[in-house]
Amino acid sequence: MEGNIAAGLAIGLGAIGPGIGLGIAVSKAMEALGRNPDAAGQIFVPYILGIALTEAIGIYALVIGLLLIFVA
């Protein structure tokens, strides 16, 4: 039971930071795209990489949550 509460807290709190970070990253990418639509090809790869690295932190929280439910 405590494990389930801890897992919920872990993923819930752990999703705050990546959520804010992803929002900033996407908004900046869209801003750049709006200013210069021709740069879409050049923005794409660094954008995907930045998204992936930001999202990894949320995935860490998910892994901790899964560990709390299934292993502990």
Angle formed by the axes of helices 2-14 and 40-70, to 10°? 170
Tokens describing residue 29 = 């990418």
Closer residue to other proteins, CB minimum distance, 16 or 52: 52
Written as one string, the DSSP assignment of 29-59 is: HHHHHHH-GGGHHHHHHHHHHHHHHHHHHHH
Given the rule CB under 8 A, which of 14-22, 31-39, 51-59 is the region that contacts other proteins?
Answer: 51-59
CB of 5 to other proteins, least distance (A): 15
Choose between 37 and 70: whose C-beta lies nearer to other proteins. Answer: 70
Q: CB-wise, 32 or 62, nearer to other proteins?
A: 62
